[in-house]
A and B are shown apart, each in its own frame.
Chain A
């Protein structure tokens, strides 16, 4: 079937097998490899992207379900002028990543969280990120980064 998705502001259209998952559409058709596949049970969140502004696990949707809709991946987050998004900046400053494999999903989940709850407590951050697994950081600096990004947004 033919699927058309607006990815990071650009329309991407392709003829695909019906069973194509959104994450494979992004990686293999749109050529955006930031979103990773870390499990096969929708458990890890490494594939998290924004679909019409809200975080989804892109391994859990068919590409067809995104037809006519807008997806933002990690690659589309920065402004393109050389400035990182506040969440990206905070992850860097707080050392919120190590191997980087969970990072594309973790950052997008954090962006979605701060859209829904701009001023979360530590406990709220921890609960909100429960669906995104990280094996390197023990989450300590990820949580700090999300709280720092929230603080940065408040002071803007």
Chain B
């Protein structure tokens, strides 16, 4: 039986469970012996002019190696000028990250734009000294009015980038004249908030660097070492061949570790500038303001249709808060627009967006990156529509989901959905959860006026994975003459289990047992070309590349084995159970992989593949959340969560389920608890893990996962991505459940996070309104 599709425990785990991973701060190599510690001096104010920096006292402190400010950055090429034809601010194209009108410096030049922006860096012999010395760097700030509120930003009374002449970096999409909703019996509109979140990878950002003999080596916690090298070469003005970037074990990324942040670039620069090896690992308090945040959209949704449940038109108008500098967030609302209408067959779809700078931490990708925002909006809209026409939300979904005979389906948002069984996924969840029984229980509790009310929340979704499918991914496979094999992958694992999965693919194709297969990733000296892990792309691109490399090696080996056995190639077979080549039907003739590889001569058995996919893939599913809401306190408890997440053919159910579990928890966390909050002056008020409410085991149930596999057609594995399904499906399901629990009180919407305070306030307001109405 093939190993593919089976529950294989991970090859990564024995080390992680006995001595722990080797994350950047754990790297103990000769090059980093005696490395100085980097401590950043960060802006304590959201918006200010810098009128002076005095480092004299800091330089006198014990243990100081260097104190560096922007004045010391005199050995870098100038940043590239705005390219010809760069779009003017407010036009329809996304600004270039870190460039043009919105250029982001490495260290603040004469102005700071968010709390946490790096202003200076202190190098000391040890960590504790660094914190002391950073306190001695005296920076004079002349405060400017902070721009936090989106409407304030759009008005533009205060500009973050005066030369741009506006705070609006992008304006795109269809005007809202309402004509698209002509012919609808019912139109519902509402402004909703998809709040700002902190990614909170358990390992924060970290980097270490050494410069020796004209070569820069950088160890960095990243999702893609090769992109990191590309960025470093440009910023430092070095030949890429003079740079080695290593991603050791990475303690989670969730999109916020794509490429290299300015902080990590500075660490690398400091090693070259001072000639001393350096290392940096941020504190959690730094991480919560320094690592990019995610989401941060305000959406105005309009949905219209017939009283018998047919949705005819939908509009999602997004204002994307991009924080102080447009990084990837200039692009995120376009993904939100692409996936706007979700899994529904809606005849008329409008999207529009504005991307707006504010004096807050920059926004970038966070698990889902623009797609959870699309799903949250349309799933709220469908429930608002269902409530308006008095139809069960499950029924409205069933009526409007794209039917299986319409694939490939061109969506109103502009995507082409490849394959799907949307209604089946919905029905599977409803059946497994006993939806009708839950509705009956809900009715009984309402009838009795129970304090603990039951809420059911649905979310049907389709998402896009490997959105940059054409970017492809690399793999190199070598079979050695001792019968072992090495896989070099351009994907870059940070918890997903690629080492296990890629070894399974090789064993499945070649019969070389997994324990003889080494998988290497994240080292640009070994793997100069690669794209990395994000956008739920790895299995379908990187995994397929490994699979195709194995197929290639197999055909090479067939020719070698034919020579070895003095037989014709068509007469040979590979017994993948035993991992041997033999003349068909003659086990006595068998030759091991070691023998075949040894016979291959100096060229050996090796294959290089760069696999690009013809189009992205579109996983789909349905989530049902069941919550209990205490109507006296507003407290919500998620009691059940039932899902179908169809990501095509599954290679290893254990790994796929793990991805779903993690995503569901993060989605529930957004719906219930998490929000990065700023006060009116731009001070973060959730800047530690005491204040930022990352979800715990005690707040979650075990999840009920159902299986469904509708293969993709664009890659030979039939795989779609699974990494982000959880946040996409779970977030609106849980939010819808909370609203549903109190909908009998007349409540139609509660913004996320649905904290006890918000739920209680909604109940109190609804109860007061109904009392007033009764009194009239």
Contacts and interface: CB of A to CB of B under 8 A. Distances in A.
B30 interface: no
A117 B354 CA distance: 55
Contacts of A93: 9
Interface stretch (A32-40, A50-58, A64-72, A148-156): A32-40
Interface string A16-43: 0101100010010001011111111101
A17 B127 CA distance: 12
Contact of A140 (B9, B200, B204, B661): B661
B254 interface: yes
Interface in B631-663: 654-655, 657-658, 661-663
Contacts of A91: 13, 17
Interface in A104-149: 104, 107, 122, 125-127, 129-144
Given A135-B200, A138-B700, A75 B20 contact: yes
B17 A107 contact: yes
A14 interface: no
B250 interface: yes
Given A74-B18, A74-B19, A138-B663, A98 B496 contact: yes
Contact of B661 (A75, A100, A101, A137): A137
Contacts of B17: 74, 84, 88, 91-92, 97, 103, 107
Nearest to B692: A43
B20 A98 contact: no
B690 A41 contact: yes
B407 interface: no
A39 B726 CA distance: 25
A78 interface: yes
Contacts of B662: 98, 135-138
Contact of B13 (A46, A97, A131): A97
Interface in B170-211: 200-204
Contacts of B666: 135, 138
Interface string B17-40: 111111101101000000000000
B658 A135 contact: no
Contacts of B23: 36, 101
A2 interface: no
Interface range, B side: 35 or more
A88 B664 CA distance: 25
Interface in B477-498: 494-497
A145 B689 CA distance: 26
B251 A100 contact: yes
A7 interface: no
Contact of B20 (A103, A137, A140, A144): A103
Contacts of A1: none
B254 A100 contact: no
Contacts of A5: none
B16 interface: yes
A46 B690 contact: no
Given A101-B252, A138-B662, A127 B698 contact: yes
A38 B284 contact: yes
Given A40-B285, A127-B698, A139-B700, A99 B495 contact: yes
A98 B203 contact: no
B202 A44 contact: yes
Interface residues of A, number: 57
Contacts of A17: 128
Contacts of A98: 252, 495-497, 658, 662
A130 B252 contact: no
Interface string B678-699: 0000000000111000101110
B10 interface: yes
B697 A143 contact: yes
B10 A41 contact: no
Contacts of B698: 126-127, 129-130
Contact of B21 (A100, A122, A127, A140): A100
A144 B658 CA distance: 12
A92 B14 contact: yes
A102 interface: yes
Nearest to A77: B18
A133 B689 contact: yes
A135 B697 contact: no
A36 B20 contact: yes
B20 A141 contact: no
Contact of B697 (A74, A97, A126): A126
Given A95-B10, A95-B658, A101-B21, A136 B284 contact: no
Contacts of B509: none
A129 B700 CA distance: 12
B697 A130 contact: yes
Contact of A41 (B26, B654, B688): B688
B518 to A, nearest CB: 18
Contacts of B494: 99
B500 to A, nearest CB: 10
Contacts of A78: 18
A122 B703 CA distance: 13
A97 B12 CA distance: 10
Given A40-B284, A44-B689, A103-B17, A133 B696 contact: yes
B285 to A, nearest CB: 6
B249 interface: yes
B283 interface: yes
Interface in B565-616: none
Contacts of A27: 26
B20 A35 contact: yes
B495 A33 contact: no
Contacts of B696: 129-131, 133, 139
Contacts of B274: none
B203 A95 contact: no
A138 B284 contact: no
A44 B18 CA distance: 20
B693 to A, nearest CB: 10
Contacts of B352: none
Contacts of B203: 36, 38, 99, 101
B19 A34 contact: yes
Contact of A99 (B14, B251, B665): B251
B306 interface: no
B289 to A, nearest CB: 13
Nearest to B367: A135
B706 to A, nearest CB: 14
A156 to B, nearest CB: 19
B702 interface: yes
Interface string B331-373: 0000000000000000000000000000000000000000000
Contacts of B128: 17, 19-20
A101 B202 contact: yes
Given A40-B284, A43-B688, A138-B662, A133 B19 contact: no
B495 A136 contact: yes
A35 B19 CA distance: 9
15 contacts: A33-B22, A40-B284, A92-B17, A97-B13, A98-B658, A99-B249, A99-B252, A99-B495, A100-B12, A102-B202, A126-B698, A126-B700, A130-B698, A141-B657, A143-B702
Given A38-B204, A92-B9, A103-B17, 10 more contacts: A33-B26, A98-B495, A99-B251, A99-B495, A129-B696, A134-B202, A135-B201, A136-B495, A142-B697, A144-B702
- Which 9 residue pairs across A and B have the least CB separation, nearest first? A34-B20, A138-B665, A99-B495, A101-B251, A98-B495, A100-B16, A43-B689, A138-B661, A39-B284
